[in-house]
Chains A and B, each alone.
Chain A
Amino acid sequence: QEFTARIGHLESDQQPRHAGLVMVADLVKERTGGAVAFELFPAGQLGQAREMNEGVQLGLIEGTVSPAAFLAGFNPAVSILDVPFLYPSDREKAAALRGGAFGDAVLASFEPLGFHAVALWPNGRKAMTSNNEIANVEDFAGQRFRVMDSAVLIEQFNAVGASAIALPFGELYTALQTGVVDGQENALDTIATMKYQEVQQHLLISEHGANEDVVLFNPGWWNSLPAEYQDIIVAAFDEVRPQVEQIKEAAQATALETIKQSGIDIVELDDAQRAAFREVMYGPARDAYLAGAGDAGKTIVDVYEAQYAEIVGQ
């Protein structure tokens, strides 16, 4: 082979992101006649998320598939993806946003920063768990939720009167068990894998947050590829995207069955309730985003709100 890309990511090799990357790697190998090879390193073997993103920028590795939440330090504009209720519940409408003008604007925001972003990949929707009731907006007041280091996510909980606590992922299970925090937010399959249902009493299937992955390559490596190979790679990521979403949805469905067996109390929001939550959370979180992301953020929000109105019809 002529071109090798070492691609690192955070998920274990049992999870959908890795499965998707394996499919892309196979397609790319086949269509370039073996000229381009992807070497995959799952589970943070190449370092933490920040280090892998930095590594792509510096040319230490060629690529990474990073959750948007870990990219804010590199590109504040990407935090738009942390804003709650960004996507409608309807998967096709969401895909139209992701693959349309909005998605393109997010990808383009990486270009001046030393990354070549080729795709957004869906990685499920977040649900919330807690040891207290969380079925209604009012229930959140006074509760403590663990979040990742993100101003937008902190504001999301602040908007409903809850406190955001930043804790390392590895300490979360114990922290939920002992009550250092009351609750957390993650995709259903993450919840089931980490067995948070063992130490939590209430699950709210809110789908409030979109877990979006950004596929990033080192620009130096990318530009060394013939245009034909570049097209093949971009096409492969786009082509596999619906399958990744299906695998993730299937994983979430299986996870929900597992979670149900624990006897945890489960509430699922309907469209009207989601709208009520969106009403409270979206605005303050978007404003927190705009405060951090400046002009680049303003452009993206304008594109987003226009396209959202068009698609959702509001």
Chain B
Amino acid sequence: MAALLRFLRSLEHTLLAGVMLVMVLMYSGSIAVREIAPPYARYVVWVDEATRYLMVWLVFLALGIALERGRQIAMTSYLEMMPSRVQFVLRKIIDLTGLLFSLYITWVGIEMTMIIANTGQRSPTLGISTAYLYLALPAGFALLALRYALSLAGVIDRWSNSTHEGAV
């Protein structure tokens, strides 16, 4: 279990860093092509769309790990003022709500992805199925649901580690 979680985390890390850096490279590369060799600019018109798709994937893929690290935005100052028993119960309620919410969105996301795959909608310049865009939604919310579930079960403590982990 712990080993599995570690593996998942390092996979998420690698994916996020990779997607982010690929976005930078592709996007700045297409500017360079346009400025240095304008006639070839038409071969990189798909870059805007590709970068945008990657950004959507980046955002959803990072949802789970953001929760685990206490980086999802919340106003917790009043929660922290309450007696510890009340805090404990409230946190479990939040975890449960978050779990149900993200499971529901995961389910809707799968439905959406399948419907779009069936309509045959394609992205205008990449030419790939738009379902690949929507697939980011269930993928990301499933990772978020997992973190809410782990927090609910007490496997991870997402409340006390709200720091920029990896700070140099």
Q: Which residues of A pack against B, CB within 8 Å? A: 54, 57-58, 72-74, 76, 113-114, 142, 144, 149-151, 154, 158, 163-166, 168
Apart from A72-B124, A144-B41, list 17 A-B contacts with CB within 8 A.
A54-B121, A57-B121, A73-B121, A73-B122, A113-B120, A114-B119, A142-B38, A144-B34, A149-B45, A149-B48, A158-B42, A163-B39, A164-B45, A165-B34, A165-B45, A166-B45, A168-B48
Q: Is the CB of B45 within 8 A of A74?
A: no
Q: Is the CB of B119 within 8 A of A57?
A: yes
Q: Is the CB of B34 within 8 A of A154?
A: no
- Sorted nearest first, the 6 A-B pairs with minimum C-beta distance are A149-B124, A163-B38, A166-B45, A163-B41, A149-B125, A73-B124
Q: Bound complex: CA of A114 vs CA of B116, how far in Å?
A: 11
| Dominant secondary structure of chain B at its interface with chain A | helix
* Chain A residues, Cβ within 8 Å of B115: 58
Q: Which residues of B pack against A, CB within 8 Å? A: 34, 38-39, 41-42, 45, 48-49, 115-116, 119-125, 130
Q: How far is the CB of B35 from chain A (nearest CB, A)?
A: 9
Q: Is the CB of A73 within 8 A of B130?
A: yes
* Chain A residues, Cβ within 8 Å of B130: 54, 73
Say which residue of A114, A142, A149 sits within 8 Å of B49 (CB atoms).
Answer: A149
Q: Bound complex: CA of A23 vs CA of B115, how far in Å?
A: 35
Instruction: Name 14 A/B residue pairs within 8 A (Cβ), A-sorted.
Output: A57-B121, A58-B119, A73-B122, A73-B123, A74-B119, A113-B119, A114-B119, A144-B34, A144-B41, A149-B48, A163-B38, A163-B42, A164-B41, A166-B45
Q: Is the CB of B42 within 8 A of A144?
A: no
Q: How far is the CB of A112 from chain B (nearest CB, A)?
A: 10
* Chain B residues, Cβ within 8 Å of A165: 34, 41, 45
Using known A-B contacts A58-B115, A144-B38, A154-B42, determine if residue A166 contacts B48 with beta carbons closer than 8 Å.
yes
Q: Bound complex: CA of A74 vs CA of B34, how far in Å?
A: 28
Query: Which B residue sits closest to A74, measured CB to CB?
Result: B121
Query: Which B residue sits closest to A57, measured CB to CB?
Result: B119
* Chain B residues, Cβ within 8 Å of A54: 116, 119, 121, 130
* Chain B residues, Cβ within 8 Å of A166: 45, 48, 125
Q: Bound complex: CA of A74 vs CA of B119, how far in Å?
A: 8
